[in-house]
Structure 1
């Protein structure tokens, strides 16, 4: 198993998408009882687990990367890759001769916009940025421990088992990155499913215009829905489906495209989905910890101690202040344990 550790000797604090909100992350770590020791945040009895998407959008991306990497390299934390780290690798990697492309991830207006803040904040630190790109290759796509699982967007057990057989572990290499540029390939399906989630095509002629202004012909779906009947039973994204589409019954072909997460499987934690409202489990053994921190939502953690049924009481969060640049005082009254 990738990164196998049990909760027998330590608990885990699983933390959602950071997107450059470094000061908010410091505040959350402080609340969880982590303290800086020789410049690295540590907890005497627990380990942080980051769900990826450390980069892009936020005001302190460089600081967030240094904080997280230092924790990982000193054993105070683990991390899985997010789609934004994967996107950065593709954006900054030249395509191979004969491919008809200059870069693996096209440099177009949308992709430029998504990575703009990251590249701007590393503008005077090109060597550091290249070192972080190399570090991204060491980040696993998933963590599969005896008591819990972690992946950025979707736990697809079949894909993960095939990936482990192909790659011999949980990390990608440059050859796999190049192969994943073809979405229909095995590598492309792994990266799209695990880091972005599953989807269904909308009915012919129907599109959705998201809050980001982009028009889509697909909608993101749950990977844990039990016996779904309609589109409303499986949709899982910030932008709602039109009522007449949400009530549409799933066809048998659509049902076969869906995956589910077994009720008796270990708890799994994901980020990615821009949740809102009060953090709580999505299912007794499924939790999403991305609560739109970079959009002035919450930076959320779950304090996991080996339980098979997740509890709403174990979510811990801090609200992101306006602006995120506010200097936070060190809290003496933490919830450390």
Structure 2
């Protein structure tokens, strides 16, 4: 497919994580202006890669901006793992009586804490927002580009699309996908959380965000990976000399692969740092840790088959005390 004469291209925006005011600044910088309560551009549209919620100071604002654009046809969005997690956290599991699809553990409580607090006085709005999350597709293919939150695994996408041609899950899929070990869990996990490998010998990573992890995130564009260092893709370094550890045949078989001949692909999720750069000429990650006082990043795509790092645009997030959203930041003119 090619872009229409009236559409100049797409601006693919990374994980917002509640940085609603910064999102507004980035949109203005990209030439979008608010009209009738919606940010619009005369010749371009936005694609959000998911993870609008959690952690940041202005979550409701971030959701309101993105949702109003999507519903007005000025933007598209794919589901992130944080939207999925919120759905599972707030939906009952019929197998557990009064339990939840996503257990309310201290770790899970901590992740969603800011979101629930900022919606606490707006319960109807939160329920409506959860319903909107259910309408988000897990992936997009538009005008020659692909977008997914974490990993484009073609076999899993084809399998999902056979059941859900529009890319949107239903309540039945949500229920089963929350059950570890099911095929639906594997599909949701791979598309929204990406590949992960377990660390050996009970080794742990104590990451900068305060979590302890026993696995590491992997990328999916190494043609012939041999060692951990060929596929690790996260800001936290592997401990000791683990980057030199050889991958087992089973670990190699578990990895997804996206080749250089495939269409341009945009992802978020991976907490990149520093100046935005391209891992390959057909893949761009637009998550640059905005809520950790990094950068809220967009890639300005205008039809090119080979991506160009000069097309990244961003707004740096200043480090300042977290603040509740003010009424004027929530209500549009």
Tell me the TM-score normalized by structure 2: 0.93
In structure 2, do the counterparts of structure 1 residues 212 and 176 end up closer, same or farther at CA, with 3 Å as the change threshold? same
What secondary structure does 1:135 align onto?
A: helix
CA distance in 2, matches of 1:215, 1:120: 24
Per the alignment, residue 3 of structure 2 pairs with: 7
Per the alignment, residue 135 of structure 2 pairs with: 138
**Aligned pairs (5 A) from 1:121-136:** 121-136=118-133
Per-residue deviation at 1:242?
2.0
Tell me the TM-score normalized by structure 1: 0.92
The answer (yes or no) to whether the contact 2:13–2:298 under 8 Å persists in 1 is yes
Per-residue deviation at 1:207?
2.5
Q: CA-to-partner distance for each residue in 1:265-321, whole Å, 9 max, x for gaps?
A: 111111111110110111010111011101111000000011111101100001012
The answer (yes or no) to whether the contact 1:284–1:309 under 8 Å persists in 2 is yes
**Aligned pairs (5 A) from 1:42-81:** 42-81=40-79
CA distance in 2, matches of 1:213, 1:65: 26
The answer (yes or no) to whether the contact 1:23–1:325 under 8 Å persists in 2 is no
Per the alignment, residue 177 of structure 2 pairs with: 180
What secondary structure does 2:242 align onto?
A: helix
What secondary structure does 2:246 align onto?
A: coil
CA distance in 1, matches of 2:66, 2:194: 24
> Where does the alignment leave 5 or more consecutive residues of structure 2 unmatched?
326-333
1:291 aligns with 2:288: yes
CA distance in 1, matches of 2:233, 2:223: 14
Per the alignment, residue 330 of structure 1 pairs with: none
The answer (yes or no) to whether the contact 2:78–2:139 under 8 Å persists in 1 is yes
CA distance in 2, matches of 1:229, 1:179: 34
The answer (yes or no) to whether the contact 1:18–1:293 under 8 Å persists in 2 is yes
Per-residue deviation at 1:101?
5.9
The answer (yes or no) to whether the contact 2:55–2:291 under 8 Å persists in 1 is yes
The answer (yes or no) to whether the contact 1:276–1:292 under 8 Å persists in 2 is yes
**Aligned pairs (5 A) from 1:277-316:** 277-316=274-313
Which stretch of structure 1 is more off in the superposition, 316-325 or 262-271? 316-325
The count of aligned residue pairs is 322
The answer (yes or no) to whether the contact 2:90–2:100 under 8 Å persists in 1 is yes
What secondary structure does 1:111 align onto?
A: helix
What secondary structure does 2:10 align onto?
A: strand
Alignment equivalent of 2:15, drawn from 8, 17, 28: 17
The answer (yes or no) to whether the contact 2:57–2:324 under 8 Å persists in 1 is no
> Where does the alignment leave 5 or more consecutive residues of structure 1 unmatched?
328-337
What secondary structure does 2:278 align onto?
A: coil
CA distance in 1, matches of 2:222, 2:72: 38
